[in-house]
Amino acid sequence: MNVKRTTTHAIRSMKRRGELIPMITAYDHTSAVLADRAGIPMILVGDSLGQVMLGYESTIPVTLDDIVRATASVVRGAPRALVVADLPFMTYQESPAQAMQSAARVMQEGGAHAVKLEGGSSVADTVRRLCDAGVAVMGHLGLTPQSLNQIGGYRVQGKDEGSAAKLMSDAELLQAAGAFAVVLELVPAEVAAAVTGRLGIPTIGIGAGPACDGQVQVWHDLLGLIPDFQPKHARRYAELSGTIQSAIVSYINDVKERRFPSDDETFHIPAGTSMNFEVGKPPAREEVAAVRASFAWTPERIRTLREDLRLTQAAMSEKVGVAKNNLSAWERGKNRPSLRHQSTLDSLARSRGRAP
């Protein structure tokens, strides 16, 4: 089936038609498949993967390799959506040439259709250079998480006249540089509405009110995958953390009680097939325990027991009922004693007052 990919032109056209633009983050193939089948027109492979997928406290440790791998998996799972990839911290700030190299990797290796970078006037020339080279660029203003240490935390931006004017100016600079859209994060709704009305390119809000041309949400926030944290700007459309945890608890219990797998989930030898071994019942718990116990007879334990008994390898092998070379192999870790021989070793250990 020939699937038509959403383009940056289609995204800009949505603004002109007054059609609102939903966007969501995704970081892996399965999530991308689900989002794409749901009809999402645009997916962001955000550096927020550092927090929700890799366990970092911020986006700053995320590397270009992290983004490239995640982007490639998302693109493979989303044949319809436009996939935008973040350029991580310090992969574009040094120079337009550095940004060009980073964008090349994200697009050539990851398959991204556009890149996103944070900042206004400080990156306007870089955006222009990228666009001139044929790279589709999405801007990002307001709260810029890569500047978290500089701005002093996750704070709403543009709350006073001066900072709001700067945000408006930066948005116009990004548009003039060729950006096809701009994310507005943690910006007062009134300021975001003014910027949206001024620009000809779409604004995508996250914590920026309902007047933006589109909205973007983090996958984990929208689906309730992080039980103990919900940003003010996020709405949970499901509470999957509890559902997933309950499912895993049920699986654990079914395995422990031998309810899984059932016969419906089991393969059998075809009827009438002749086999050279006897198919018996599942092993008894005592047999399973004995197998587990076999790992307790390490080479060091066997050697220590023999020395406690003051036996040579030849004498010890006679007591256990094996050839001397087998006992030597046990002590060198080349192989392990059988269940029958483990039982003999247990008896010898008990005779010396040692726990088997």
Half-sphere exposure of 169 (CA within 13 A, CB side): 8
Amino acid (one-letter) located at 306: R
- Measured CA to CA, the distance from residue 180 to residue 314 in angstroms comes to 82
**Burial class for 238, CB neighbours closer than 10 Å (0-12, 13-18, 19+):** exposed
How open is the CA angle 297-300-301, to the nearest 5 degrees?
Answer: 45
Amino acid (one-letter) located at 136: A
DSSP 5-33: PP-HHHHHHHHHHT--EEEEE--SHHHHH
Token duo for residue 83: 């996939």
Say if CB 90 and CB 140 are below 8 A apart: no
Catalytic residue among 109, 118, 161, 185: 185
In degrees and rounded to multiples of 5, residue 76 shows phi and psi of: -65, -25
In degrees and rounded to multiples of 5, residue 208 shows phi and psi of: -130, 20
CA distances from 182 to 24, 117, 137 (A): 15, 10, 9
Pairing type for strands 137-142 and 114-116 reads parallel
- Measured CA to CA, the distance from residue 292 to residue 339 in angstroms comes to 10
Q: Give the other-Cβ count within 10 Å of 105's Cβ.
A: 18
**Burial class for 120, CB neighbours closer than 10 Å (0-12, 13-18, 19+):** buried
Residue 185 is a catalytic residue: yes
Which residues are part of the catalytic machinery? 185
